[in-house]
C-alpha cells in the first residue's frame, strides 16, 4: 500500500473548492438573470392590464356635450 500524499490531497481539495465556488457564482448569475426576466415580464403584464382597465375608470357620462 502506498503512503498517502497529503499535499496532493490538499491540492485536490482546493481545486474542488474553487470549482464549487465557480458553480455557485454561475448559479447566482443565472438566478439573477431569471429574476430580471421575471420582473420585466410582470411589469409588462401589469402595464397591459392597466391599459385595458384605463377606459373603465376614465369614462365620464357628463363629458358628452353641453346641456
pLDDT in tens, the chain (67 residues): 567 788 899 999 999 999 999 999 999 999 999 999 999 999 999 999 999 999 888 877 776 655 5
Question: What values do phi and psi take at 43, rounded to 5?
Answer: -65, -45
In the chain, what are the domain boundaries?
25-58
Predicted TM-score (pTM) of the model is: 0.63
Model pLDDT, residue 27: 98
* Residue 39 CA neighbour count, 13 Å, CB half: 6
Could you give the CA distance from residue 20 to residue 18 in angstroms, rounded to a whole number? 5
- Provide the 3-class DSSP secondary structure of residue 12: helix
Could you give the CA distance from residue 50 to residue 53 in angstroms, rounded to a whole number? 5
Other residues' Cβ atoms within 10 Å of the Cβ of residue 15: 10
Amino acid at each position: 500500500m502506498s503512503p498517502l500524499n497529503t499535499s496532493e490531497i490538499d491540492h485536490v481539495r482546493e481545486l474542488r473548492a474553487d470549482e464549487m465556488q465557480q458553480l455557485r457564482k454561475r448559479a447566482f448569475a443565472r438566478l439573477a438573470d431569471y429574476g430580471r426576466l421575471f420582473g420585466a415580464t410582470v411589469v409588462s403584464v401589469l402595464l397591459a392590464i392597466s391599459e385595458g382597465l384605463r377606459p373603465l375608470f376614465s369614462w365620464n357620462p357628463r363629458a358628452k356635450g353641453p346641456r
